Amino acid sequence: MSVIEARGLRKAFSTTVALDGIDLRVEEGHILGLIGPNGAGKTTTLNAILGLTPYRGELKVLGRDPWNQRDELMREVCFIADVAVLPRWMRVSQALEYMVGVHARFDRRKAEGFLAKTAIAHHRKVRELSKGMVVQLHLALVMAIDAKLLVLDEPTLGLDILFRKQFYDSLLNDYFDGSRTIIVTTHQVEEVQQVLTDLMFINHGRIVLSCSMEEFEARYAEVMVKPEHLAAARALKPIYERQVLGRCILLFDHVARHQLAALGEVRTPNIADLFVAVMGNPRGPAQGAAR
């Protein structure tokens, strides 16, 4: 059974269409990165998955209908919706007590173990913690839940690079065990590239690209083309071209690497570069990618 299965997911607000027919299938054990510009529909997609917003179309999360079964679903799904949504008046000890009281799958000892690695004292109130500590606390609470699906919506927004690095490190080392599933949206694309197993670009409420990271590495190649080979390289129809320090960097889709190697230095592109290429180029690889 897929963890998430969506078909023709639609959502319209009074003036805008937020989701314009999303088809989505996430299997157990995958870490999916949902990447898109502001207002692309990322958060709306996640909200639909979490039962926070009504939608049209078919959607099943762990076999349940999120909108009508949110509280049951939340026994097996957890999410960090945003930085700083922990209630500011709450003490760390109260948060632990409360979680034990309402969540059957919450392991207090585990959460205390995670907190012991931070500088967060139990008697502190959330409002007295720094932004980074609040995220650490939230992550500690969430990682102590034995959930099947974890949804992260911009979990590291506004944090400094040390905290961001730590966040993804502990997520991978202390939480992800191959049977859990994670969906993450973020603008800090470079930092999640090594973390993801699957990649999805979304824009104007539609999926623009959807592939596994292996596919991504096999399909896309970036070549720093030597000036003398530029014409030959352009003949291979790059999907994007940019200039860095006077050198031309061309991004290719579905072009064999040995063919490219003759033109210059070949490497796997950053997700961020592919993102710019795909989003800046409406006729780009979308047709091929969005099945």
User: Which residues would be at the binding site for other proteins (CB under 8 A)?
Assistant: 50, 52-54, 70-72, 74-75, 78-82, 84-90, 94, 98-99, 101-104, 138
Q: Shortest approach of other proteins to residue 204 CB, angstroms?
A: 21
Judged by CB, which is closer to other proteins: 76, or 174? 76
Q: Shortest approach of other proteins to residue 70 CB, angstroms?
A: 7
Judged by CB, which is closer to other proteins: 100, or 272? 100
Q: Shortest approach of other proteins to residue 188 CB, angstroms?
A: 20
Nearest to 205 by CA among 41, 36, 9, 34: 41
Q: Shortest approach of other proteins to residue 103 CB, angstroms?
A: 6
* Tokens matching residue 138: 């939230």
Q: What share of the chain is helix, strand, coil (3-state, %, to 5)?
A: 35, 30, 35
- Decide: 186 and 35 in contact? Cβ < 8 Å: yes
Nearest to 250 by CA among 275, 271, 277, 287: 277
Judged by CB, which is closer to other proteins: 67, or 163? 67
Q: Shortest approach of other proteins to residue 247 CB, angstroms?
A: 45
Distance between alpha carbon 289 and the CA centroid of its chain, in Å? 18
Spatial CB neighbours of 183, under 8 Å, sequence gap ≥ 6: 4, 26, 31, 32, 34, 46, 49, 149, 150, 151, 152
Q: Shortest approach of other proteins to residue 250 CB, angstroms?
A: 43
Strand partners, 219: none
Distance CA(27)–CA(95), nearest Å, equals 31
Q: Shortest approach of other proteins to residue 33 CB, angstroms?
A: 20
What residue type is 50 in one-letter code?
A: L
Judged by CB, which is closer to other proteins: 105, or 247? 105
Q: Name the pairing type of β-strands 206-212 and 264-267.
A: unpaired
- Decide: 183 and 192 in contact? Cβ < 8 Å: no
Judged by CB, which is closer to other proteins: 50, or 59? 50
